[in-house]
């Protein structure tokens, strides 16, 4: 049973296939293959949660392979011996090939084509062979590490109801995700936030009335610019977030192991953020705006009025409201990027959105990017402001934890 809303797939899959087959255009093999991996995951039509897991595993394998050769950083959990003269580019290609073949096997033809194209630029000989061996070993080690991380746990959501009472029969998205073993958190609830606002509070009334106006499907008070932002961030997959990280990685003067570490950090931070946010969502089971606003007369707050036919600007995701998952992703990535380059003005951060017809958006500060994601979910009509603030803070804590993880220690 499908229980999540996907992107407009035909256009997305065509774009992903083109990216996977495209020649290298980015700063180095790490960022080139990151774009190709995201394209393969998108073309495989994985739901968002497994998509972030796949990207985290792939980027971790790439980092382990590269670092085993360059020896720039201390080794973490994965201990590899690699020839210092091995080809880094061959190692990156092999790590990606092995990981993607395992995680998105339906894309094998495109993966093999990209792999052969990458290897063709590396001279045959001992260095290439040693690089391929390092990539294969790193991928095997990460696959073994994450084999029993709980992602395969069967969904067993129990609907909240009373005997004989009908409830909608669509299964919510990934209620089993909190059972996963995190990358850097001690457990899924390590940073679980407190509960959402009391329905009798002024804060609840503020959140309710704000989104009722600005997040409605038919609403003259949401500006055209705000609607554009809302459509842009309707996209949920890793293909919209990793280009933001590559904006940093593609800056002049970056060394390839730096980039491998940065993208691995981005991957594991965002993957853990989803584990943590789903833990909180299914702990609190807080209602979405479409439910709350249609029941504004029964929440016990005189400042919230019911709107019987209210609809959000975009379709509501199939999981509880609190806290905001998109915001936790942006918050975790933002924390990783700030640790890398500081909190001031940065090289222009840029990404494109398949839900906005390939529109491009850019930011000159990390905070500007993170804040826009938060605002977008209010404009979308699917998250209350408190939820966006809490989700962003949850993500920030996880991103900061990832940066200090022994698995990716800087020194």
393 three-state secondary structure: helix
Give the residues across from 351 on adjacent strands: 361
CA-to-CA distance for 42 and 355, rounded, in angstroms?
13
Percent of the chain with pLDDT over 70: 93
**What percentage of the chain carries pLDDT values higher than 90?**
88
pLDDT of residue 347: 83
Residue 23 exposed, middle or buried by CB count within 10 Å (0-12, 13-18, 19+): exposed
Find the length of the chain.
Answer: 411
**For 218-247, what is each residue's pLDDT tens digit?**
977 999 999 999 999 999 999 999 999 999
- pLDDT, tens digit, for every residue of 321-343? 999 999 999 999 999 999 999 98
Residue 126 has pLDDT above 80, yes or no: yes
In whole angstroms, what is the distance from residue 382 CA to residue 335 CA? 24
Q: How confident is the model at residue 27 (pLDDT cuts 50, 70, 90)?
A: low
Average pLDDT, the chain: 93
pLDDT in tens, 242-301: 999 999 999 999 999 999 999 999 999 999 999 999 999 999 999 999 999 999 999 999
**Minimum mean pLDDT range among 113-127, 314-328, 340-354:** 340-354
Query: Residue 3 has what pLDDT?
Result: 34
pLDDT (0 to 100) of residue 350: 97
The CA distance from 297 to 277, in Å, is: 29
Which has more pLDDT, 24 or 394?
Answer: 394
- Rounded mean pLDDT of 380-407? 97
Residue 397 scores a pLDDT above 70: yes
pLDDT at 345 over 70: yes
pLDDT tens digit string along 139-183? 999 999 999 999 999 999 999 899 999 998 988 999 999 999 999
Beta strands in 239-370 (DSSP E): 345-353, 359-365
Q: Residue 76's pLDDT band (boundaries 50, 70, 90)?
A: confident
Judged on CB neighbours under 10 Å (0-12, 13-18, 19+), 28 is buried
The answer to whether residue 25 scores a pLDDT higher than 80 is: no
The torsion region of residue 153 among left (phi > 0), alpha (psi -120 to 50) and beta comes to beta
Q: Is the model's pLDDT at 189 over the cut of 80?
A: yes
pLDDT digits (tens, 9 = 90+) for 77-111: 898 999 999 999 999 999 999 999 999 999 999 99
């Amino acid at each position: 049973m499908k229980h999540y809303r996907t992107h407009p797939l035909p256009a997305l899959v065509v774009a992903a296939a083109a990216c996977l087959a495209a020649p290298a255009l980015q700063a180095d093999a790490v960022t080139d293959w990151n774009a190709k991996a995201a394209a393969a995951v998108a073309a495989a039509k994985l739901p968002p949660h497994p998509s972030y897991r796949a990207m985290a595993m792939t980027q971790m394998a790439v980092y382990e392979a590269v670092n085993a050769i360059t020896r720039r950083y201390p080794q973490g959990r994965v201990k590899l011996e690699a020839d210092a003269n091995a080809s880094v580019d061959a190692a990156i290609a092999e790590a990606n090939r092995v990981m993607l073949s395992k995680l998105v096997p339906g894309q094998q033809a495109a993966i093999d084509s990209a792999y052969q194209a990458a290897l063709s630029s590396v001279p045959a000989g001992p260095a290439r062979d040693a690089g391929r061996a390092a990539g294969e070993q790193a991928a095997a080690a990460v696959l073994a590490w994450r084999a029993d991380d709980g992602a395969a746990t069967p969904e067993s959501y129990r609907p909240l109801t009373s005997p004989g009472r009908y409830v909608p029969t669509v299964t919510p998205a990934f209620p089993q995700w909190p059972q996963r073993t995190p990358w850097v958190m001690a457990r899924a609830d390590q940073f679980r936030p407190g509960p959402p606002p009391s329905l009798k509070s002024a804060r609840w009334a503020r959140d309710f009335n704000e989104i009722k106006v600005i997040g409605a499907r038919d609403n003259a008070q949401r500006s055209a610019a705000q609607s554009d932002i809302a459509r842009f961030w309707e996209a949920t997959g890793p293909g919209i977030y990793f280009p933001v990280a590559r904006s940093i990685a593609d800056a002049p003067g970056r060394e390839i192991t730096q980039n491998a570490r940065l993208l691995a950090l981005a991957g594991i931070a965002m993957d853990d953020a989803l584990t943590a946010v789903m833990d909180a969502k299914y702990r609190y089971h807080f209602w979405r705006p479409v439910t709350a606003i249609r029941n504004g007369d029964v929440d016990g707050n005189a400042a919230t009025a019911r709107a019987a036919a209210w609809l959000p600007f975009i379709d509501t995701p199939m999981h509880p409201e609190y806290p905001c998952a998109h915001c936790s992703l942006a918050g975790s990535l933002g924390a990783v990027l700030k640790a890398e380059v500081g909190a001031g003005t940065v090289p222009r951060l840029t990404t494109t959105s398949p839900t906005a017809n390939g529109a491009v958006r850019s930011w000159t500060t990390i905070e500007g990017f993170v804040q826009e994601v938060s605002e977008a979910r209010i404009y979308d009509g699917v998250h209350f402001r408190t939820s966006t603030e809490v989700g962003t803070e949850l993500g920030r804590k996880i991103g900061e934890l990832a940066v200090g993880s022994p698995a990716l220690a800087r020194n």
